[in-house]
Chain A
Amino acid sequence: MRAIYKTLGSAAGISILAACTGGQAGIEPPSTAANVQGTSTLQFRVGTVNWRGLATFTNTVVTFRQPNGLSATLYNSPTITGPAGFVVPTVVPTACLGTSAATTASGAGTDAGTANISSTQPTQPGTTAVATTFAQVGGAFAYGFAPADSTTGGAALYAGNPAGRLFATQIGTVSDVYPQPIYCSSTRKLPYVLAPPATTPDFHNPALGFPGGFIGYDSGFMTFGVAPVAGSYALHLTVPSATIGVNSAVFDQTASITTTTPMATVAPVVIAEPGGAGTAVTFTVAPAPAGATSQVLYVVNQSTGTYFSFNAGTAGGVFSLAAANFTAGDVIRAYVAAANWDIVGDGPPANMSTAPPLPTQTDVSLSSLTSVAYL
């Protein structure tokens, strides 16, 4: 009988051992979590937009970064609340309606007619989500708002990912980038993507191994087709958790527009092939308007979907792209943004600080579009 007890004792001992070593669902594999609330930094600024000399809209700049300068989270839900008098349009503003004669909804969803530019909180899949400006895809990232809240589809979402969300009606084939200004007609929106030679390395070189289809970096600003109103703007940003309705972190920032007078208008870009057909293309940028501290030239070969940009400086000048970047018949488009902060210098990959320097009010002036066919 003693032997039976010994045997049973051994079995019991092993049972305890098994319990101690776990083996159940809750502890395998172990997982550690970042302190998003404690380590992330949110910056928010507002200002004015001189849109092609046709209208004055509202500009925003946001940075939401980890200590290493990367985007703080891959998913968050921002909401901007403007001061009294700030009203999100119900229809596309006339100035940026484009060729459409009919009244067109602004796409603001339930934000229309309110002082809120909001996003939609996560909802149970299969249920209808409330339509808002940012919807469920828009969030704040390292440098600007972007439709890049990660999904469960598995594809990496970055600017230009062919597998990502597609905004086919815009210039070229642009995905995972907001064309601006928001609330304007799609034919009047443009993507402001920073690309070589303004940024390095030259990700157009396939040997460097940049993700397929990557078109460039954000410019940090997000413009809305809403008339600016002086006053305080609040950004409320929530980071969701796995449980719908429960946030893992909440951030709040405020910013102010002290003057609604916009920066002067930026002249359109002049595109030329001074060497004749099939040669290098030049882009002439006029000096930036007063108040601007930086100026960026954006160039798109719409036929190939290739993006370029130049840090044009306040003096402007002539910038050139080699003939190798084009073939006859390619549609080349160029436009300029002048701002009172360093558009290129504050954004990744150049600036990976937690909180890049920004002025109290961020104003920007956007040129009209110049488009030619390569000879």
Chain B
Amino acid sequence: MLNELTHRTKAGYRNALAVAMILAFVLCSMPSAFAQVITGSIQGTITASQGNTKLAGVQVTATAPSARYTATTDANGFFSIQGVTPDTYAVAFSRTGYETFTLTGVTVVQGQAANVSTPLNQSLQRIGRTQARSTTGAFQPTQTTDQYNVGTTQMTTTLGKQGGTSESNLLASIPGASFDSSGYPVLRGGRETEEGFQYEGIDYTDAFTHQFVNSLILNGASNFQVTPGAGDASIGNVGTGAINIVAKRGTNPKFGQFEGDIRAGRYEHQLRGEYGWATPNGRFSEYASGVFDRNAYNYGGSGQNPLLIGCAFSCRTLDKSNEVTNNFVYKFGKDNNQSLQFFYDNTQFDLKLGLAQGPVGPYYATNDALWVNTAFAFNFVNNTQAIQAVTPFVYGQRFLTDRIGADGSDRKVENGSQPNETFKLQYSNSLNATTFVTAKFYRVNSVVQFDDPLRGNSVQFDDASSQQGGQRTGFAIDGTKQLGSKNLLGFGGKFEYLTPIFSFPSATGGFYAFTGGGGGSSVESQDFYPAGLAGGCPFQNPATGANLRCGYLFGFGFTGVSKGCPLNITTGANVCTPGAAVGSATGPLAPAINLPYADESTHTPRQDIAIYLKDTFSPTDRLKFDVGLRMDGVNWRSPSCDINWCLPTSFTTDAAGNNTYQFNYSKDTRTPRVWQPRLAFSYQFTRNDSIRGTYGRSVQFAPIAAVDTTSPEVAYAAFRGIPSVDQVNHPIAAAPFGTAATFCGTSVFLGFQDQPCKDYAQQLYWENQQATNGVPITPLLPTTFNNFDFTYSHQFPKGVAVKITPFYTKSFNQVASTAQPLVQNGVVVTNPVTGAPVLGPAVQSNQGKNQTTGVEFFLTKEAAYGLSGSLSLTYQNEFSNVVPTSASEDFFPSIPPASLQLGNLYRVGFLSPFVGTLSLQERTRSGWRINPVIYYNHGYPYGAGLLTAATVNGLPYNVPNTNVTNSSQLSAAAGATRYVDPRNPGSAFAPNIAATRGTPENTAAGGELTAARFYPTQLTIEYQSPRNPRSTYGALIFNLFNQLYAQPALNTRYQPVANGISGPYSGYSSSATSPVFYGVRNFLGLVRGNQAYLLQPTNQPRTVQFYYQLNL
């Protein structure tokens, strides 16, 4: 691309190449950088109206409340101002002998040049013909990339009022964006993690999952910019699009607003305020804004009736959010050409999800004992006291008889918390009239915490308490250089260091892991009991009844701890009897060593780097080209890839039967570098018509969450040096401690146990890996996207404009979980009987792919008074090889091996194919404002499909989807809606279907659409007296049509009787023997309902928010 540039012109491009080389050198010798730019520019060519001659020496002054800039036209009448803070400017042109002309309403947005070319007239009566054009309208004839800008006025219209905080709703109102089926905004069908999200030029996503970090609370934004597709070269690591929000700045004159809100229909109140000021000379400016919201409600969840107990498990009961933003700027130097900015943002979002873990909740050991009794088949003598002896306290438990959720415990409810803190220190310098550079240092701290005390009745992680997120620390340089009047050069780079946080410790999970659960291959828990355990060692030799291995660890200096009295597992009562023998049925628990916690965590930091170079070439005022090249890369800081870290992709076996493993470990996975060309043009071929087009390659690196959720071995450091023991194959070996276990290493995930454990710490580490963490894998290849779009736009009289943009995006190497064939000695391993390939474990891979075709439509009408608004429509037809049967398909995609082998493509299930938003505002001069915002989606795909990919006799087929196909024997996807005759089932190829759910089904999963929705439509009625404009009164109705139900979910407890006739247990668990839990038997079964599909009131009900705004 650079070669191409050098051949096209002259000095400008040669300079560009020189700058690129210098930049490359600089970036290679220091931490490189990236960021999306947050300033724009103003440029134009001034001519004399008579004779059309270009005027040199014209003084240009751009003034806005937040900033002031000056420039002088050159010999060609051209001027350019770089590094302009986004705002709406009045640009004045003056030259001796000419009428001074001021063009008002020039809006500058980040990353774009506002062109204000205008003629000056020598006659006094002449007024400039040039009109400023809003950057938010649909007609943007000089815009090369597909981009939508939403200023504060449009935010008010879309969100119903000034200071609206729903970033989701705002985003969903923009063409190309839509809500996914979970309610999160996505761009052009990308997944939640495949969109760039910047705030003040900072990558505003967490280091672990690449999800947005502020819970989508909008606060203090001056401009909201969405770039579907690749955008220009300054935009990186974005996948299918990027969002860039710029914060407000302090101004002179100062401004401020205070707002109080209460909501009817549920308990909620909100306080919001903002204040901005600047010194008259503009040297100091300060802006602060805060939103404080509290609301309590109870809707959604797993039950139809929110009063039923099942709802309490996942129904929100309380949200609390505090959001503050501060933006301080100090300008200095000649004409304030330099500035220092300190930006700070802090969000604290808390939610509580119900009271399921109330004071009647059981203590931890109850579940463990039940689980061991019913599900664990090892030679385990049911000894609840012994279980209690070795299982560590769960988080929050203070003593053995302490029930989680009881008085004094703060773990009564399931809750979540999302603290997020961001700051940026930025230096900017307008080096001269044509050059502007910024350098910034920033950090994003974001952690999502969940606490689910004793959730569920499974022993594994039923005391889950987790946190995930991390820290993003970065340094970035961006700059622009005007080269002549036709070339605007942009360059920049970034370096970021990602420190992920992920921790998922579990006391009961430890019991699960080290007692052979979850596919683990050993039973360490026996080693944690004392040898002389009164009442006997709980592990016995099945043949002889002799005790096994109790006391092993006590020989290495460990000492036991007695926790107190045992408990009755049924009643929870303390059954300790004074004077009874330690460890006896009624005596204190025998001293034992606590099992370690099971843990999922991460220890893979990452470095992200990027450089870019672009040039905007404007041969005429009507024609513009944008040519750029960008490189994004990462350096995975994971351990070296060997049998102790990565999953082998193949192996060789020698004559002696020894295996040697190979790994997919290369520069492409460890330190990938992806070069991405970005090409765009715009051409205004009449005063009211323009076209533009873009091709851009973009990249999205796999989130760390997809690569590493393993625990570091240091978690078991206390056990280092102790010999490993094989409790399964050599359970009663004599000193010196028997044979080492051989499941240490990733080969165990392929079915081999050929890696001996170095010591007991490593043994625990791998046991934990197998039981809870899964498989360590090689870092993944980056996902790349080819994005094409083309726009035709037209402006009509009276401020009406339209824009239509067809687009196409295709991705490669998308991240998805799947199982792949084993390769031995270069040949795929096959089943000797069936000839079918033998698959390895399901792990994250680059096997995903998708393609999206769509059309964006945008209609705007701008007017200060009267009717204004916008209509946004998006049609998108997206196909993926991920089977759309999971509600979290766009966040945890997985591909059944059979489907992958068949190459099946499905319409994605998380996306509505057609969405639209109509935002209208009728503003009267008498002070009234009526503002409906109508959201529409054409329904979301659902259904399990009439056909499904299944493995029959080891080979993949697309077969009729029935409850037999769905059975584990055939490894098909879950969720069939047809049922075979239980006495004459037929075959997988020709099943005898005796009953169905009676609901429509299409050939493939996701082939049906739910009914259309007008959610979350809202209506605002607001009044501001012209005589007292300081006060505004308003009422905002949320969910105007009270549409409570979102996506139907397959009722997995539907009981078929005949076609469309459900059975008596539909929605219920028919098991009469399931344990009493939280005082209610089959607690979840009570709330499932008896429909084929479950419809749950997951949307907020209709509410009215009354607000008062005081303009300061």
Residues of A bordering B, CB below 8 Å: 1, 3-4, 6-8, 10-11, 14-15, 17-19, 21-25, 27-34, 36, 66, 70-76, 122, 124-129, 141-144, 146, 148, 150-159, 161, 163, 176, 201, 203, 206-214, 217-218, 239-244, 248, 348-349
Which chain A positions have C-beta within 8 A of B1054?
Answer: 152
Which chain B positions have C-beta within 8 A of A207?
Answer: 952-953
A190 to B928: give the CA distance in the assembly, Å.
Answer: 85
Q: A11-B934, A152-B1053, A240-B1064 are in contact. List 7 more A-B contacts (CB 8 A).
A: A8-B930, A29-B943, A33-B1059, A36-B1058, A126-B1082, A152-B1063, A156-B966
In this complex, the member of B1048, B1063, B1091, B1095 whose beta carbon has the largest number of chain A beta carbons within 10 angstroms is B1063
Which chain B positions have C-beta within 8 A of A32?
Answer: 998, 1059-1060
A29 touching B962 in the complex, CB below 8 Å, given contacts A11-B934, A122-B1064, A211-B985: no
B974: nearest chain-A partner, CB-CB: A154
Contact A159 B959 (CB under 8 A): no
20 contacts between A and B (CB under 8 A): A21-B1012, A29-B1010, A29-B1092, A33-B1061, A36-B1058, A71-B984, A125-B1071, A142-B981, A152-B1069, A153-B1070, A153-B1071, A209-B987, A210-B986, A210-B988, A212-B970, A241-B1061, A242-B1061, A242-B1064, A248-B1057, A248-B1061
Tell me which of B227-235, B283-291, B324-332, B1037-1045 binds A: B1037-1045
Partner of A218, one of B983, B995, B1048, B1093: B983
A25 to chain B, nearest CB (A): 4
Contact B994 A71 (CB under 8 A): yes
Which chain A positions have C-beta within 8 A of B1058?
Answer: 33-34, 36, 66, 72-74, 239
In this complex, the member of A156, A212, A248 whose beta carbon has the largest number of chain B beta carbons within 10 angstroms is A156
A254 to B1066: give the CA distance in the assembly, Å.
Answer: 31
B988: nearest chain-A partner, CB-CB: A209
Q: Is B659 in contact with chain A by the CB < 8 A criterion? A: no
Closest 10 CB pairs of A and B: A212-B969, A122-B1064, A33-B1060, A209-B988, A126-B1081, A34-B1059, A242-B1090, A148-B982, A348-B984, A152-B1053
B1057 to chain A, nearest CB (A): 5
Which chain B positions have C-beta within 8 A of A34?
Answer: 998, 1058-1061
In this complex, the member of A31, A129, A213 whose beta carbon has the largest number of chain B beta carbons within 10 angstroms is A31
Which chain A positions have C-beta within 8 A of B560?
Answer: none
A3: nearest chain-B partner, CB-CB: B922
A155 touching B983 in the complex, CB below 8 Å, given contacts A7-B922, A7-B930: no
Residues of B1071-1112 whose CB lies within 8 A of A: 1071-1072, 1081-1082, 1085, 1090-1093, 1095, 1097
Which chain A positions have C-beta within 8 A of B981?
Answer: 70-71, 74, 141-142, 348
A144 to B981: give the CA distance in the assembly, Å.
Answer: 13
B989 to chain A, nearest CB (A): 5
Which chain A positions have C-beta within 8 A of B570?
Answer: none
Residues of B973-1019 whose CB lies within 8 A of A: 979-989, 992-995, 997-1000, 1008, 1010-1015, 1017, 1019
A75 touching B1014 in the complex, CB below 8 Å, given contacts A24-B1044, A32-B1060, A70-B981: no
Which chain A positions have C-beta within 8 A of B994?
Answer: 66, 70-71, 73-74
Residues of B bordering A, CB below 8 Å: 304, 834, 866-867, 920, 922, 924, 928, 930, 932, 934, 942-943, 952-953, 957, 959, 962-964, 966-970, 979-989, 992-995, 997-1000, 1008, 1010-1015, 1017, 1019, 1040-1041, 1043-1045, 1048, 1052-1072, 1081-1082, 1085, 1090-1093, 1095, 1097
A122: nearest chain-B partner, CB-CB: B1064
Contact A157 B920 (CB under 8 A): no
Count of chain A to chain B residue pairs whose CB atoms are closer than 8 Å in the complex: 271
A74 touching B942 in the complex, CB below 8 Å, given contacts A29-B1010, A158-B985: no
Contact A19 B928 (CB under 8 A): no
B1071: nearest chain-A partner, CB-CB: A125
Which chain B positions have C-beta within 8 A of A217?
Answer: 983-984
Contact A156 B930 (CB under 8 A): no
Which chain A positions have C-beta within 8 A of B1008?
Answer: 29
Contact B987 A158 (CB under 8 A): no
Contact A36 B1061 (CB under 8 A): yes
B1077 to chain A, nearest CB (A): 11
A154 touching B985 in the complex, CB below 8 Å, given contacts A29-B1000, A206-B953, A209-B959: no
Contact A151 B1070 (CB under 8 A): yes
A159 to B982: give the CA distance in the assembly, Å.
Answer: 7
In this complex, the member of A29, A201, A214, A217 whose beta carbon has the largest number of chain B beta carbons within 10 angstroms is A29
Which chain B positions have C-beta within 8 A of A11?
Answer: 920, 932, 934, 1019, 1040
A28 touching B966 in the complex, CB below 8 Å, given contacts A71-B983, A210-B985, A210-B988: no
A23 touching B1013 in the complex, CB below 8 Å, given contacts A7-B930, A74-B1057: yes
A217 to B997: give the CA distance in the assembly, Å.
Answer: 25
Which chain B positions have C-beta within 8 A of A144?
Answer: 983
Contact B932 A74 (CB under 8 A): no
Contact A71 B1071 (CB under 8 A): no
In this complex, the member of A23, A127, A208 whose beta carbon has the largest number of chain B beta carbons within 10 angstroms is A23
Contact A23 B1041 (CB under 8 A): yes
Contact A176 B982 (CB under 8 A): yes
Contact B1057 A75 (CB under 8 A): yes
In this complex, the member of A18, A27, A218 whose beta carbon has the largest number of chain B beta carbons within 10 angstroms is A18
A144: nearest chain-B partner, CB-CB: B983
A243 to B1067: give the CA distance in the assembly, Å.
Answer: 11
A28 touching B1045 in the complex, CB below 8 Å, given contacts A7-B922, A125-B1065, A154-B1052: yes
Contact A211 B982 (CB under 8 A): no
Which chain B positions have C-beta within 8 A of A239?
Answer: 1057-1058, 1061
Contact B982 A150 (CB under 8 A): yes
Contact B1063 A159 (CB under 8 A): no
A182 to B1090: give the CA distance in the assembly, Å.
Answer: 34
A29 to chain B, nearest CB (A): 5
A141 touching B983 in the complex, CB below 8 Å, given contacts A25-B1045, A122-B1064, A211-B967: yes
Contact A159 B983 (CB under 8 A): yes
Which chain A positions have C-beta within 8 A of B967?
Answer: 155-156, 161, 163, 211-212
A28 to B1048: give the CA distance in the assembly, Å.
Answer: 8
Which chain A positions have C-beta within 8 A of B1069?
Answer: 125, 152
Which chain B positions have C-beta within 8 A of A153?
Answer: 1070-1071
Which chain B positions have C-beta within 8 A of A209?
Answer: 952-953, 957, 959, 987-989
Contact B1063 A240 (CB under 8 A): yes
Which chain A positions have C-beta within 8 A of B1081?
Answer: 125-126
A29 to B1090: give the CA distance in the assembly, Å.
Answer: 13
A177: nearest chain-B partner, CB-CB: B983
Which chain A positions have C-beta within 8 A of B959?
Answer: 209
A125 to B968: give the CA distance in the assembly, Å.
Answer: 26
A73 to B994: give the CA distance in the assembly, Å.
Answer: 7
Which chain B positions have C-beta within 8 A of A244?
Answer: 1064
Contact B1041 A15 (CB under 8 A): yes
A22 to B981: give the CA distance in the assembly, Å.
Answer: 35
Which chain A positions have C-beta within 8 A of B1059?
Answer: 32-34
B1092: nearest chain-A partner, CB-CB: A31
Partner of A3, one of B866, B957, B1043, B1093: B866
Which chain A positions have C-beta within 8 A of B986?
Answer: 210
A129: nearest chain-B partner, CB-CB: B1072
A72: nearest chain-B partner, CB-CB: B1058
A180 to chain B, nearest CB (A): 15
A66 to B1041: give the CA distance in the assembly, Å.
Answer: 44
A32 to B996: give the CA distance in the assembly, Å.
Answer: 10
Contact A31 B997 (CB under 8 A): yes
Which chain B positions have C-beta within 8 A of A348?
Answer: 981, 983-984, 992
A149 to chain B, nearest CB (A): 8
A210 touching B1061 in the complex, CB below 8 Å, given contacts A15-B1041, A21-B1012, A156-B963: no
Contact A73 B995 (CB under 8 A): yes
Which chain A positions have C-beta within 8 A of B969?
Answer: 211-213
Partner of B983, one of A8, A28, A30, A142: A142
A7 touching B920 in the complex, CB below 8 Å, given contacts A71-B982, A206-B834, A211-B967: yes
